[in-house]
Amino acid sequence: MDWARQINVKNPAEIALMREAGRVNALALAAVRELIEPGVTTADLNAAAEEVLRKHGAYSPFYHYGRPPFPASICASVNEELVHGIPGNRKLKEGDIISVDCGAVVEGYVGDASFTAGIGELSSTARKLLEVTEKALYIAIEKMRVGNHTGDVSAAIQQFVEGRGFHVTREYTGHGVGRQMHEGPQVPNYGKPGTGVPLEAGMTIALEPMVLVGTHRTRVLPNRWTVVSADGSLTAHFEHSIAVTEGEPLILTVL
Ligand code: MG
Ligand code: MG
């Protein structure tokens, strides 16, 4: 990926459009969440998200993204699949965890968010993994303030996750978001405080802790999309798109 990407600071009108894209994205994710139960396929989840997007005149920026073109509107990543799982006829079963990542484009602006959920009774490791990964996202959001650098956000994620015995991915990162799904700056899930890009009001960034139980190393399946933990251990992923303001960080991808 080319990360000499431009940082596009948004004006209030653009932030309002991004908030609407984020709201529609949250509706799609909520519809998916309601369906998650044993026996449901990941293709069913994709169809549910697409229906909500269509109803709101939106579409997913994931569809036909990249090479080979991504064939669906959500990423559905089960258990050891960290990100970029391709929806299909896999049925969810008791004890699985699934990350659902969805995007929505509304009037040319992108919302990007994900959650990970468990199906039925989970192992204690899976439960802890979900808690730690989601908490890491909110700790990162708290750091999205003028006066901080992107490295403060990255370091907060890494310190929290590693402090609880888990690992953060190195190859996949948070990113600016706006008219493009991926803009600058890049916000890795590891880093040093005080480094990187100074945060400015109007910056819009998708933060996305990606956490692995056994190793930070990953590999990509032969479908050239699905990223799995190198050791087959469980993984989780939570994401919100955030606007930096003069005050509190604004979460764009909520209802
Ligand atoms: Mg995403
Ligand atoms: Mg993203």
Spacing, Cα 109 to ligand 1 middle (Å): 14
Spacing, Cα 101 to ligand 2 middle (Å): 8
Domain ranges (residues) in the chain? 3-251
Spacing, Cα 159 to ligand 1 middle (Å): 22
**What pLDDT was estimated at residue 107?**
98
Encoded tokens for 111: 């919302």
**Which parts of the chain register pLDDT below 70?**
1-4
How many CB atoms within 10 Å of residue 112? 29
* Strand-strand pairing, 183-187 and 174-176: antiparallel
Q: What is the DSSP string of 68-133?
A: TTP-SSEEEEETTEEE-PPPSSPBP-TT-EEEEEEEEEETTEEEEEEEEEE-SS--HHHHHHHHHH
Please name the amino acid found at residue 81.
Answer: E
**What pLDDT was estimated at residue 1?**
46
**What pLDDT was estimated at residue 2?**
52
Spacing, Cα 181 to ligand 1 middle (Å): 9
Ligand nearest to the CA of 177: 2
% residues pLDDT > 70 (the chain): 98
Whole-angstrom Cα distance, residue 59 to residue 108?
10
Superfamily of domain 3-251: Creatinase/methionine aminopeptidase superfamily (3.90.230.10)
Spacing, Cα 30 to ligand 1 middle (Å): 15
**What pLDDT was estimated at residue 252?**
98
Whole-angstrom Cα distance, residue 73 to residue 67?
15
For the chain, the straight-line distance linking the first and the last C-alpha, in angstroms and rounded, comes to 31
Q: Could you tell me the pTM of the whole model?
A: 0.97
Spacing, Cα 238 to ligand 2 middle (Å): 10
**What pLDDT was estimated at residue 3?**
58
The rounded radius of gyration (Å) of the Cα atoms in the chain is 17
